[in-house]
Amino acid sequence: AQSVSQHNHHVILSEAASLELGCNYSYGGTVNLFWYVQYPGQHLQLLLKYFSGDPLVKGIKGFEAEFIKSKFSFNLRKPSVQWSDTAEYFCAVKAPDAGNMLTFGGGTRLMVKP
């Protein structure tokens, strides 16, 4: 079975700082990878996804993530965060033979200070 680890549980940054959130997964085969965001009081939203091809994936709101197969990692990055990026971020993995089953990491709570 697959599992997902997010190493940073809480991150506090000032506006304009750069962001990198770590995500590592364990699964021996091909996986689909996702980052979801949950803004305060709102539902989970998809930030970006990786299925195949270019390992550098660009998502909404200036976020990007890089899939490094050898490291089983899919880290989320943003060059310059804004106060509005304050939210909880979840990395998720889906094995191609697992239907719609997403395996989520524990989440990283990001606070951006104005």
Residues lying near other proteins in the complex (CB under 8 A) are found at 4, 6, 36, 42-46, 49, 51, 90, 92, 98-107
Tell me if 93 sits within 8 A of 29, measured CB to CB.
Answer: no
Q: How far is the CB of 67 from other proteins (least distance, A)?
A: 16
Q: Phi/psi at 61 (nearest 5 deg)?
A: 60, 30
- Tokens 């697992």 map to which residue? 98
- The beta-strand segments (E) located in 9-102 are 10-14, 19-21, 24-26, 32-38, 45-50, 56-58, 64-68, 73-78, 87-94
- The continuous run of DSSP H or E covering 101 comes out as none
Quote the least distance from Cβ 19 to other proteins, whole Å: 19
Nearer to other proteins (CB atom), residue 52 or residue 70:
52
Residue closer to other proteins by CB (options 70, 100) is 100
Q: Give whichever of 30 and 80 is closer to other proteins, judged by the CB atom.
A: 30
CB of 45 to other proteins, least distance (A): 8
CB of 80 to other proteins, least distance (A): 26
CA dihedral of residues 21, 106, 74, 60 (deg, nearest 10): -70
Of residues 31 and 92, the one with the C-beta less far from other proteins: 92
